[in-house]
Amino acid sequence: MSSGITTSSSLESIDGVMQALAGAGYFADRPLATAVFLSLRLQRPLLLEGEPGVGKTELAKALSRVLQRDLIRLQCYDGMELRDALYEWNYSAQMLHMRAAEHVHAGSEGVQELEREIYQQRYLIKRPLLQALQAPLPGAVLLIDEVDRADEPFEAFLLEYLGEYQVSIPELGTIRAASTPVTILTSNRTRDLNDAVKRRCLYHWLDHPGRERELEILRTLVPQAGAALTEQVAQFVNRLRSQPFAGAFQRTPAIAESVEWARALVALDTLDLDPEVVTSTAGILFKQRDDVAALTQDLARELLAPAQAPS
């Protein structure tokens, strides 16, 4: 395994991480940039937990662009098996090889030779974990996405990879990383992860962005929106996510939805938000019928009203 993660010189400080990620279209606050910096410096996997849509997956994509490494994604799901995550043998190719060789090999030594031949890497179908370990320099960014959706036994299987960047394949032995993969795990916290997994990772809870960070994101990703509309969208979504308003909804809008909303408002030539525009476009902010219905014009009017100064 290489002695360290090769990083861009711009990532040699926390400020550099923030600037580099911003250049890739991702606006990290200082605590998140610190977690990324330490993950790179210490060569430790980074576990990100938070509500869906707060930018966990996007961070891995941005790191891939900053580091100029391929992004390899393992999307976890209930019932995922080892062959989906690590490898499986190409049985068809092995059978063809055996048929071609059966007339060449004879006796017990011949059988052993045949077994050695069919369990070689050329018959191995590599899945994301193995692809990440064997990625050529400078290595890969591995995203283990929504790890909380996988079964608990899968977490036990991950321990060797997360702790030592290696895996064991019975027929081939231990395969170690050619270059340490930058590894990001995400969890929506649908269930608690095993403590052993957490111990092998750095941990960061990722929340919805604050108003200023959301403004930066909107200005960058939806430059067509005017300054006033961008300000209104950021203000509205942030108030909507805060109490007591957030309590009216099953799920408040994520970053991706606020960006999509801003784009939709631009497409509608909207210059200023009003209750009618808000309620008629609520299907972009929410994906649940009850949430759409909960955003009434009265509530929209209240959310659009100037905030009262604290007494």
Give the position of tokens 């909207």: 270
For residue 197, the tally of other CB atoms under 10 A from its CB is 21
pLDDT at 3: 44
pLDDT at residue number 275: 95
Q: State pLDDT tens for residues 21-44.
A: 999 989 999 999 999 999 999 999
Q: With beta carbons less than 8 A apart as the criterion, state whether 136 and 176 touch.
A: no
Cβ neighbours around 38 below 10 Å, total: 16
**Do 306 and 297 touch, CB atoms closer than 8 A?**
no
Q: What value, to the nearest 5°, has the Cα angle with vertex 239 and ends 238 and 240?
A: 90
Query: CATH top-level class for 9-83+132-206?
Result: alpha beta
User: Which stretches of the chain drop beneath a pLDDT of 70?
Assistant: 1-9, 93-94, 97-118, 307-311
> pLDDT tens, 158-189?
999 999 999 998 888 899 998 999 999 999 99
- Reported as type and span, the H/E element at residue 183 is strand 182-187
Measured CA angle at 16 (ends 185, 35), to 5 deg = 30
Residue at 259: amino acid letter: V
Domain ranges, ordered by start, for the chain: 9-83+132-206, 88-121, 211-300
Of the CA atoms within 13 Å of residue 41, those in its CB half-sphere come to 14
